[in-house]
A and B are shown apart, each in its own frame.
Chain A
Amino acid sequence: MAYFVTVGTIGAITAILCLGVNISWGWAGQIDLAYYAYVAIGAYGAMVLELPKAHPTATTPSSYVLGLHWPFLPSLVGATAFGGAAALIVGAIALRRLRGDYIAIITACAALMLTSVLSQDDRLVGGYIGIYGLTQPLNSVLKLGPTGYSYFYLGLCLVALLLVYLVLERIYRSPFGRSLRAVRENDLAAAAFGRNLYSLRLRAYALGGAVGAFGGALFANYLLAWSPTAWNILEVVLLMSGVMVGGRANSRGVIIGSVIVLSIIPEVTRLFPLLTSNSTIGPSAAVIIGASGIIVMLRFRPGGILKERKVVDHSQTASLNATSPTLTVAERSNG
């Protein structure tokens, strides 16, 4: 049972991370390879806000900035803000003049630079050693045992996932989401109808960074430690494959894709060594099955499991305000 709780907790956090990637990639149409850097910023950010001041000793050599000893929830908010701010800075450079592939290149550069800086300079967030020593959030109040706490944290992550889902659905259907999708569909026409492309793209990018950092903060509070080995640029590609299989720009699809590609496939293939004499077959099989699945999806259902949904207007007449406006989202039927 504890196994399923672990898989569920990490699965919920991963789904949040996929929803964040989906903002810049699915809604705005940009490939953001720096995304995992915002996840890391969120993770480190939450830790340096929650932990007390660093006192490096021989047994605990880790040193880090801040150390404000904030409670869990304010730290979560702070970490989310860090991620959004970092994305705002990178986005301000990457999105001003560049398009498409060049945005991917610049964001990859930003992520690699950040990895180098954070892993080399051990005064910032502990360098290669990383940061550890976080206590289970809220458990000083709850006083749960190990099993009870794991259930609690699973519930917390699921609630967080639901919250992120609801917030993003609302933004997707709002005038902001509509403008953003118009920019993705045809940016020149959107500019000709008064949309500030740079501002819309940048706001979406910062929102994505904030969601990533939120997920990262939850992750760090689950692992209670974070180090450069926990993140690299390839993680973004994995998250994107989850988004692609589930359905770009469809939040429900993204969650399904995340669960299939990043939870079910790796966990099922973990059992493979039991069937053969090869003890290392698990991770390789996960990659082979996952990659084959993506190729099959691209061939037979390029839009993903659930395609982008259409915002449908349900009012009966165009005249007067007799009907209250009810805008809902319906599944794209085919094509």
Chain B
Amino acid sequence: MAEAQVPALLEVRGLRKHYGGVKAVDGCEFSVLRGELIGLIGPNGAGKSTVIELLSGLVKPDAGTVTFDGREIQGRPPHKIFASGLARCFQLAKEWPLLSVLENLLIAIPPDGSDTIRHAFGSPRRSRAAERAARERALSAAEQYRLYPLRNEYAYTLSGGQKRLLEFARIALAQPKLALLDEPMAGVNPVLQTQIEGGIRSLLAGGSTVILVEHNLGFVESLCDRVIVMVAGRVAAVGSMAELRENTVVQDAYLGGTSVA
């Protein structure tokens, strides 16, 4: 096939993570192409979130390799993985409660070495300009995600939906090569869902590649060309939603027998 010639942005081989007797991820293999929006679905406990944790470096894998943008990143610390261009959002919004909304957004912009004690004093003009530019970007992201009026509020005062928007806005500001979105629309009302959907599309338009973990198959179908189905810690099938509906393994494990969700 022609696409096999293009080097994948992300290549996961034999990824494994066991917690005691629980095989959370057990020999997971898949690859993601540059510029792709790929869905990651599967029943609860299939290991989707663990894969996100392993890819982002917050949890170290027991075995396997993760090749991202030509370099092996498995077992590297999370801040280095972020620096190499892989950012993730959390299934449960993890805002920094006692930082203002604007500060939450500013943290998402890579500091490029300006967050040192020395830079707090007589910082070179270059780094002050960088801070100003970061601030402008953060404020316009706040505007885009309806957080501008709340920019000076503590993040803990936001509603659940607003926290999801903040979570997503942080990813957008990080401008990653690969964004791992762990159920970004969970518990979000339809208006905000549309907003986040638009956000995902503009991530793609900006050149990012996206892995979307999502339970709402309607969304997955409308957004993703390719979908990975995980069952019991491994990849059970890969294909378009239409193909997967015909796949009996997927039907049994996830879609509920022959009736289509």
Contacts and interface: CB of A to CB of B under 8 A. Distances in A.
Interface of A: 167, 170-171, 174-179, 181-182, 185-186, 188-197, 200, 203, 207, 308, 310-313, 315, 318-321, 325, 330, 332
Given A194-B79, A310-B100, A311-B100, A207 B117 contact: yes
Interface residues of B, number: 47
A189 to B, nearest CB: 4
B98 A185 contact: yes
13 contacts: A176-B116, A176-B120, A181-B99, A186-B97, A189-B95, A192-B94, A193-B107, A194-B174, A203-B117, A310-B152, A313-B100, A318-B142, A319-B140
Given A188-B94, A310-B100, A318-B143, A194 B154 contact: no
Contacts of A175: 106, 111, 114-115, 119-120, 131
B110 A194 contact: yes
Contacts, number: 124
Given A185-B97, A311-B102, 6 more contacts: A174-B119, A178-B115, A313-B151, A313-B152, A318-B136, A318-B140
B83 interface: yes
B79 A196 contact: yes
A242 B82 CA distance: 39
B100 A179 contact: no
Nearest to A307: B98
Contact of A192 (B88, B136, B139, B142): B88
Nearest to A318: B139
Contacts of A207: 117
A176 B110 CA distance: 12
A313 B102 contact: yes
B51 to A, nearest CB: 15
- Among B78, B110, B111, B139, max chain A CB count under 10 A is at B78
Contacts of A310: 100, 152, 154
B219 interface: no
A176 B174 CA distance: 18
Contacts of B132: 321, 325
B30 interface: no
A258 to B, nearest CB: 22
- Among B56, B77, B120, max chain A CB count under 10 A is at B120
Contacts of B19: none
Contacts of B82: 191-194
A330 B100 CA distance: 11
Interface string B107-144: 11011001111011100000000011001100110110
B100 A192 contact: no
B58 A191 contact: yes
A167 B118 CA distance: 11
Contact of A178 (B78, B99, B148): B99
A207 B151 CA distance: 30
Contacts of B116: 176, 203
